[in-house]
Each structure stands twice: as structure tokens, then as C-alpha cells.
Amino acid sequence: MAPAAKEFYEDQKNLNKLCNFLRSTDGPAVREAIMMDKRVYYIKGEKLVNFMVEPKKGTKWPKELPRFSSRPEAITVCKELCNIQYIHRSEKVAKGELEVARVRDFDESAYFTWIYEGDMTNKNLMTTALIIGFLCCTCFPIWPNFLKVFVWYMSVSLLIFIFFLVTLRAVVFLFVWIIGYEMWFLPNLFDESLGFCESFIPVISCEKTKDGQLMYRVGVFVAFSSFCYWAVTQPSEFDGFVKGQGDFIKDLYAGTLLSDISQKDKENIDKPKMPSLEDLLKKLDSEDEEEKELSEEEAAEALLNSLVEDSEDIDDEEE
């Protein structure tokens, strides 16, 4: 390592800058695993050294960080990272599981888990935003009405956008698949194992279909052609379906899906329902009337019992 670079990376602050770059999205690719019931990121020592000596194509190495000119220079820094416990050596025990290795020395053939978490500013900001968002959601009943309407429009727009996006992807795939190719728009869109940015890469993927699918493609083509023929020859039914979907979307935006209740109930649909004073007084009056009716029934039953007893006594005297 050049003297200037050697002195540069001996300073821990500069070493932190290097680690921030290595842990960023421009750094080397890492894998996820579970170690001691915690999700961690690990990388093979050889890949780490290779990246430090010769970064992958398109990587923008920070101008304030000196470059490594040889593998021994990079290995020296990696050993220093082990010494200050920014990374530690790990061993694979199962698929997706690691454990801490007893040997702590740096070796290119070993796996190393990142302990250094990098710059926590973005994570802290995201955590704060998450907490604030959660509190705002729990306070939704006391939001002003215009914010509730805004959230409603945003939710409906997002729902419609996702529906048309999924439909468009399926239709494009169907058309291209019929002619013998599998083309997906945003193929990783619903891959839960990828991050947010990686889900939009690549934008389009196109591959030739596997052999033996000709009959399936012909069958789908016939079915799709039959549907198109039905849509053209039965315009009244299909137009009614299209009109119904358009009316449904209009009702979503206009908020008229709940047309069977009053406007006051619509506005107060998310408010807790508390009985009014009139409702409480009516309830008390109804309870009093029920008690009065019950007491009258008891009196009539008591009179009837007394008459029965008197008649029994008269019969006993006659005998």
C-alpha cells in the first residue's frame, strides 16, 4: 500500500468511510443469513478482496478514498477490520444459517459477517417516519375531512393502478407467449426475496419458450380469438360490462357506493357511535313500561291463583 494510503486507512474515521462505502448499494454484493436468531449479512473473503482491488464495472469509487493497488494491501485492511470487529469470521451450519467461527483470522476462503452497520442516519430517519406514520394512522378518526378525502382518492388511485398494471403485464405476456416467447414487464415485481429497488430490475425480460408448448399456445390462441369474436358479435353484453366497470370506478371516486345511507352517516361512518340523551330517555321509558306491564301481569296471575284456591276451599267444605 502506498505510504499515503497506508496512513490514510490507519485512521479509524477514514476506515469508517471505507466501510460506509462497502456497506452501501455500490459496495460488493452480500447474502442474508440467520445467526443467533438474528438476520445478518455475510460475504466471502475472496469476493471482498476482489472488490477492493478491482471493483465491479460501473462502480463509482469515492474520490476521497485511496484505491488499492494490490491484493496484499486489501488483505491488510481486511485484517484490520477483523481486529476492530467490524467483520467477524463465520461458518455455515445449514442453508441460510451461520455461526461464529472459533478462528478469528482473516482468510480469503472463509465467510465473514458484517458487524459494522454503517451510517445509521437513513435508518433512524426511516424509523422515525415509520413511528410518525403509525401514530397518524391510529389518529385517523380525528383527521380533518379533507385529509380523509385525500387518502380515499390516493387509495382508490393506487388500487386501480395496480389492477391495470397486473392486467397489462398478463396481456403482454399472453400475446408474446402465443408467438413463442416469454416476455415479462417488471419480472421481479412480486419477488418478496428482493429489495424495493431490485424489484424493478430488469424492466423487461424476454426468453424463448420451452419445447412442447405448441399445443397449449394454439389452444390459448383459439380461446382468446373466441372471446374477441364474442365481444364483437355481442356488443350489448360486452358494452354493458364495460359500462358497469366505468360506473364502478366513478362511484369509487365519487364515494357513492354507500348510497343506501344518509350523507350524515357517511360523514360519521368512522366516528364512535354514542347514544344521545333522547335515546337514553326513550330506553328508560321503555324499561318503565315493561316493568309496569310485568307488574300488571303478576297482579292478574295472583288474582287468578287466589280464585282457584277459593274454589278449592268451597269444594272441600261441601264434601
pLDDT at site 209: 81
Q: What is the pLDDT of residue 293?
A: 63
Q: pLDDT digit of tens for each residue in the chain (319 aa)?
A: 545 566 777 888 888 888 888 888 888 888 899 988 888 899 999 999 999 888 888 788 888 888 888 888 888 889 888 988 899 999 888 888 888 888 888 888 899 999 988 777 878 898 899 999 898 888 877 888 888 878 878 887 888 888 888 888 888 888 888 888 888 888 888 877 777 777 788 888 888 888 777 888 888 888 888 877 777 777 666 666 667 777 777 776 666 655 544 555 555 655 666 667 777 777 777 776 766 665 666 666 766 776 666 565 555 555 5
pLDDT at 273: 65
**Rg (alpha carbons) of the chain, rounded to whole number:** 37
The pLDDT, as a whole number, for residue 128 is 92
Integer Cα distance of 130 and 143 in angstroms? 18
**The residue to which cell 268451597 is assigned:** 314
End-to-end CA distance of the chain: 132
* Cell triple for 11: 485512521
Cα-based angle 141, 142, 148 (whole degrees, multiple of 5): 70
Structure confidence at residue 310 (pLDDT): 59
> Residue 143: left if φ>0, alpha if ψ -120 to 50, beta else—which one?
beta
Question: What are the φ/ψ torsions at residue 157 (nearest 5 degrees)?
Answer: -65, -40
Omega into 3 within 30° of 0, i.e. cis?
no
Q: What angle do CA 31, 45, 63 make, to 5 degrees?
A: 90
Q: Round to whole Å and give the CA distance between 73 and 65.
A: 14
Amino acid residing at 270: D
Q: Please say whether the dihedral angle defined by the alpha carbons of residues 210, 214, 217 and 221, taken in this order, is positive or negative.
A: positive
Beta carbons within 8 Å of 20's beta carbon, 6+ residues apart: 118, 119
